[in-house]
Copies of this chain bind each other. A is one copy, B any other.
Amino acid sequence: MTMEQLEKQFNKLIEIGISLTSEHNLEKLLSTIVSEARAFTCADAGSLYIKEGDELVFMISQNDTIRNRDGADEEKKAYKKFTLPINKKNLAGYVAFTGQILNIPDAYNIPEDVEYSHKKTFDKQYNYKTVSMLMIPMTDNEGEITGVLQLINSLQNHGQAVPFKKEQEQIILSMASQAAVAINNAKLTEDIKKAHYNTIIRLAVAAEYKDEDTALHIKRMSEYSAIIAKGMGFDDKYVENIRFASPMHDIGKIGIPDRILLKPAKLDKEEWQVMMSHTTIGGDILKNPDSDIIALSRTIALSHHEKFNGKGYPFGIQGDDIPLEGRIVALADVFDALSSRRPYKEPWPLEKITNLISEERGEQFDPTVVDVFQENFEEILKVRDEFIE
């Protein structure tokens, strides 16, 4: 390699490091790592294992040959999530166990005196021929092995698989190390966000302690709201904000006197006025927002009982005058209330609920929100069945 080539390669490596570092979405990050490492080595295929406890979890895979031949769906199908033990018997396990690089020129001619072996089942099933392999440990800045990067079939000009070059080992090792730190960072960000979400759920549930609204109701309506927002085409950040903000929609119930909140009989007109004020009390509790999430939760607290036809409360505004987040949460909240068991009622049959929602399309509910809800009904039901009482 000339000095110029070396410099170019190193600069590229630093550039990749920077781009990995700035990707905070774990899934996108993993896929970027594999594609950058493949591009660097002209590898036809590549995959990535992440260490979780004492196992390697297979996370991501790319295979140009299968995708070009059978399409992206087949490529995806070919790789299901599985785990491998960390020991010397399987290739990735060996690398994670020993911290050594494995540069295998021909997977079908592995010397017999080594402990690891290559399984041919994948090749047979997908009519693929694994030849050369480069398996690299991913070591973070504290020397911990956090995963294994696996590259397959380094291709020459005419598409012929040749062994990975010795000098590629160090470059990919360095990239894998940058990747390991980026993965740690992405996980850390996810952990902090998860803790925040859990706190919101926890405290939103606490706020309805006397009302006996359950954590599951709050989680479901938060997920439903996120599904609808996503279906409407909003970006990930906004969808996440809706997911975080919607659990606080009824926070204002904290301010409703026990004699009304806990009254076992029907509320009279005056009591109902007080009860309705949970929307504006919520707006008061969440005023002067110090984060996007609190700002959004305030909007939702104030508007989730408005109706599209203007017959809701507290302001009786209608149509697009109602903030979209309020229109989304309104439907998510009602759907969950109707489909859940409550102390005073059985869950409604699904058909009765969908009929009501269709009838209220353009009346209680925003027609677009109803449409998106129906388009994504399968996913909605999946959430319903996942967070079950």
Contacts and interface: CB of A to CB of B under 8 A. Distances in A.
Interface of A: 3, 6-7, 10-11, 13-14, 17-19, 21-22, 24, 140-142, 174, 177-178, 181-182, 184-185, 188-189, 192-196, 198-200, 202-207, 209-210, 248, 251, 254-255, 257-259, 281, 285-286, 290-294
A282 B186 CA distance: 32
B181 A21 contact: yes
15 contacts: A6-B6, A10-B14, A14-B14, A14-B174, A14-B178, A19-B141, A21-B182, A195-B290, A195-B293, A195-B294, A196-B196, A206-B254, A206-B285, A207-B207, A257-B258
A293 B359 CA distance: 45
A195 B196 contact: yes
Given A22-B142, A195-B292, A202-B285, 9 more contacts: A17-B178, A192-B193, A194-B291, A195-B290, A198-B290, A199-B291, A205-B285, A210-B255, A254-B254
Contacts of A292: 195
Contact of A207 (B11, B141, B254, B258): B254
Contacts of A184: 22
A206 to B, nearest CB: 5
Given A21-B21, A21-B185, A22-B185, A202 B14 contact: no
Given A181-B21, A196-B195, A248 B203 contact: yes
A291 B254 contact: no
A13 B14 CA distance: 8
Number of copies: 2
Contacts of A294: 195, 198-199, 202
A123 to B, nearest CB: 35
B258 A18 contact: no
Contacts of A10: 6-7, 10, 13-14
Nearest to A186: B185
Contacts of A258: 257-259
Contact of A22 (B17, B141, B259): B141
Contacts of A199: 196, 199-200, 203, 291, 293-294
Nearest to A198: B290
A112 to B, nearest CB: 36
A143 to B, nearest CB: 12
A255 to B, nearest CB: 5
Contacts of A255: 209-210
A115 B361 CA distance: 65
A340 B356 CA distance: 53
Nearest to A9: B10
A205 B207 CA distance: 11
Nearest to A141: B22
Nearest to A293: B195
Contacts of A248: 203
A277 to B, nearest CB: 12
Best-buried of A21, A178, A251 by chain B (most CB within 10 Å): A21
Contact of A17 (B17, B188, B251, B291): B17
Contacts of A7: 6, 10
A342 to B, nearest CB: 20
Contacts of A196: 192, 195-196, 199
A305 to B, nearest CB: 18
For A7, A14, A140, which residue has the most chain B Cβ atoms within 10 angstroms?
A14
- Shortest 3 CB-CB contacts between residues of A and residues of B: A203-B203, A10-B10, A195-B291
B18 A181 contact: yes
Contact of A206 (B22, B182, B207, B259): B207
